Amino acid sequence: MKPVKVGLLGLGTVGTGVVRIVVGNQEHLSSQVGSPIIIERIAVKNSEKARDIDVDASKITTDPWEVIRDPEIDVIVEVMGGINGTKEYILEALDRGKHIITANKDLMALYGSEILAKAQEKQCDVFYEASVAGGIPIIRTLIEGFSSDRITKIMGIVNGTTNYILTKMSQEGATYSDALREAQDLGYAESDPTSDVEGLDAARKMTILGTLGFRTNVELQDVTVQGISGVSKEDIAFAKRLGYEMKLLGIAECKDEEFNISVQPTMIRSGHPIASVNGVFNAVYVYGEAVGETMFYGAGAGAMPTATSIVADLVAVIKNLKLGVNGLKQIVPYKTKKIKSDEDIYYKNFLLLHVDDKAGVLAKITQVFAEYDVSLDSVVQQANPNNPNAEIIIVTHNASKASMDKVLRHFEDLNVIRRVKSHYRVEG
């Protein structure tokens, strides 16, 4: 049996995990694909770096092009990350007829359409299960499991760092800054956490999920993004009082071939399955017209869960190679992109207002909602000994984003409102 030879770009924590699985599970993997799998070449930044895995030094190179241009290599596994240079490596590898497996969400979010089109042209596979939600097989599920259904909504926790922070704030009453510091100390957050806490990481993942779910070319700029840096422990306390948990949710919706995608802190009803997903875990909720509601839960990051998804993609590529069907399972967007207008985006809203503590204030506020056709689900007015102003908590019924934007603009000029302290989407 001729072995399948693999080139590996990157030997960090995930790359090391890939080598461990391929070497350690060789008998199991070979029995599935019908031939041995060999890691033939590995590109690294520093060949002298001490590593906690034994690798034949003759396989190591600091030049990725040596791996890309090696005629013996059938499949390239890219786990080096980044965009500059990486895109060129992958496109060249495709030109040379090599199949690609990547965990690079940034690359696929920004250039996925171009890469997949090239793969289709060259009849090569490009699989990227590990780019979203780590060990959860959500991409394969969207492509294969929902192939006969029409997806109307994808909602999920797709960033473990922010979920860890919000869980600490909810369960222990921690402040945002304290929870972030602990996440950094534990290695869940980078020293510069901007990509995670401002929602950019989640937005890239939702770009990929939206493209696959709705079969249209979703671009990163199509995603509305708000991070969690403005969420206070008071906001979370109010949410819990009303029966909600706060989560950073990616939400993609499609109706009548028009879609909208957002990433934002969201109050989700405590009884909803996603509300109980805590710590660094991820979960993706998918709504199909035929199947109804489904949820996928698991480790969203980490060396071994991510490596498991990569090797599962490797098995799929080799099976296709044996059958001679590489390049036939690519999901290349075929629907015209139609983005919903703000008038057609509906959801419930939570608002916390600081207002003058005097008679007639509530009447003026409710009049503004009525003027823009926003109906109210609940209104609670209370005094706060730490706040000289009164506090009004409002939850609306479903309202269009356009109408709510008009309400908020009107509030800026309403002299009885001192501050719109908080405004969040409400789900479930």
pLDDT digits (tens, 9 = 90+) for 228-281: 999 999 999 999 999 999 999 999 999 999 999 999 999 999 999 999 999 999
Cβ contacts of residue 324 below 8 Å, gap of 6+? none
* Cβ atoms within 10 Å of 303's Cβ, excluding its own: 17
Q: What is the pLDDT of residues 85-108, one digit of tens each?
A: 999 999 999 999 999 999 999 999
Q: Is the pLDDT of residue 51 over 90?
A: no
Domain boundaries, the chain: 4-134+303-323, 138-299, 344-427
What DSSP designation does 335 have?
B
Q: Is 383 helix (H, G, I), strand (E, B) or coil?
A: strand
* Active site annotation includes 329: no
User: What is the CATH architecture of 344-427?
Assistant: 2-Layer Sandwich (3.30)
Q: DSSP for 245-274?
A: EEEEEEEEEEETTEEEEEEEEEEEETTSGG
Q: Considering the domain 138-299 in this protein, what is its CATH number?
A: 3.30.360.10
The DSSP symbol for 339 reads B
- The DSSP result for 174-222, as a single string, is --HHHHHHHHHHTTSS-SS-HHHHTTHHHHHHHHHHHHHHHTB---GGG
Distance, in Å, from the CA atom of 218 to the CA atom of 147, rounded to the nearest integer, reads 19
Report which of 162, 169, 159, 167 is spatially closest to residue 232, judged by C-alpha positions.
Answer: 169
Determine the Cα–Cα distance for residues 162 and 180; give it in Å rounded to an integer. 8
Length of the chain: 428
Nearest to 356 by CA among 319, 324, 388: 388
Q: Where does the pLDDT of residue 330 fall: very low under 50, low under 70, confident under 90, or very high at 90 and above?
A: confident
Q: For residues 174-184, b (16+ Cβ closer than 10 Å) or e, as one string?
A: bebeebbebbe
CATH class name, domain 4-134+303-323: alpha beta
Q: pTM of the full predicted structure? A: 0.92
Quick one: pLDDT at residue 50? Answer: 85
Query: Helix (H) and strand (E) counts for the chain?
Result: 14, 17
The catalytically annotated residue of 205, 247, 348, 421 is: 205
Q: Where are the alpha helices (DSSP H) in 123-189?
A: 138-140, 160-172, 176-185
**Cβ(61)–Cβ(42) under 8 Å?**
yes
In this model, does residue 383 exceed pLDDT 80? no
**pLDDT score for 258:** 97
Tokens of 127: 């699989």
